[in-house]
Amino acid sequence: GDSWGIFTFLCAALCNLPALPALNCSEELGAGQSIQQTYDLTRYLEHQLLRTLAGTYLNYLGPPFNEPDFNPPRLARAERVPSATVDLDLWRGLTDNARLAANYRAYSRLLCYLRVLDGQVGTAELRHRLAHFCASLQGLVLSIGGVMSSLGYPLPAGPAGPPAPPGTPAAPNDFLKKMDDFWLLKELQTWLWRSAKDFNRLKKKVPPAVVTLRLEAREF
């Protein structure tokens, strides 16, 4: 009958097509999901790795750095470390792109400093903790870059520079060297605390990932 003829014609047409767009249903890793993952990683670094690492490292530095009430003034030497002590109202007044770029640059530089520490410490346990934390922080840098790409923002131009420009003198004594390390951990903790708030606000602005349909060419 007519139905059988139509079916035969369609089969013949399909066999002679070199390629046919195939309907594929998949869940894209959208901006919302990327932001959620970055937020989770930031919280993990803040509450798990950093607290464990900071306590171990400060004990390695010894007193007065491992004393709870030790709160020294920031020295000029420590200004090479990116500071998170920006007025909160000014920070919130920045665009999402500007805050993401600042986070990306800061963690890239902080990662450089931490890798230098990893090569200087004298205990195997602390080296292991630092290496593990550096790997997770590298993941956070990549994750922030993924969020920026998913939102259509360009990554900041150029990689982060080395921890110190050529010719920068080393700390003149052991105490000032320990002070540099102390401020590195302090600023890192503040950055993670503020970044968690940034990504928590951002994920409320961006809808979650949705199930999308896309056409893909499939060879027969």
- Six-digit token string for 143: 């994750």
C-alpha 218: how far from its chain's center?
Answer: 36
Q: Which residue has the tokens 């002070």?
A: 179
Asked whether the predicted pLDDT for residue 218 surpasses 50, the reply is: no
Which residues make beta-bridge pairs with 46? Answer: none
pLDDT grade, residue 140 (50/70/90)?
A: very high
- The string of pLDDT tens digits covering residues 31-63 is 888 999 999 999 999 988 887 888 889 999 999
Which residues make beta-bridge pairs with 26? Answer: 212
The span from the CA of 187 to the CA of 167, in Å, is: 24
- Answer whether 81's CB lies under 8 Å from 190's CB: no
- Six-digit token string for 204: 């409320």
- Answer whether 133's CB lies under 8 Å from 114's CB: yes
The span from the CA of 191 to the CA of 195, in Å, is: 6
Q: What is the pLDDT of residue 37?
A: 92
Q: Which residue has the tokens 């994920």?
A: 203
Q: What is the pLDDT of residue 26?
A: 29
- The string of pLDDT tens digits covering residues 81-100 is 777 766 788 888 899 999 99
Asked whether the predicted pLDDT for residue 141 surpasses 90, the reply is: yes
**Higher per-residue pLDDT: 169 or 95:** 95
Q: Which residue has the tokens 């902080």?
A: 110
The CATH code of domain 29-205 reads 1.20.1250.10
CA 117 vs CA 71, 99, 112, 163, 218: distances in Å? 21, 27, 9, 11, 51
Q: Which residue has the tokens 């979650």?
A: 208
Give helix 174-205 / helix 50-61 axis angle, nearest 10°: 170
Which has the closest alpha carbon to 109: 168, 54, 156, 75? 156
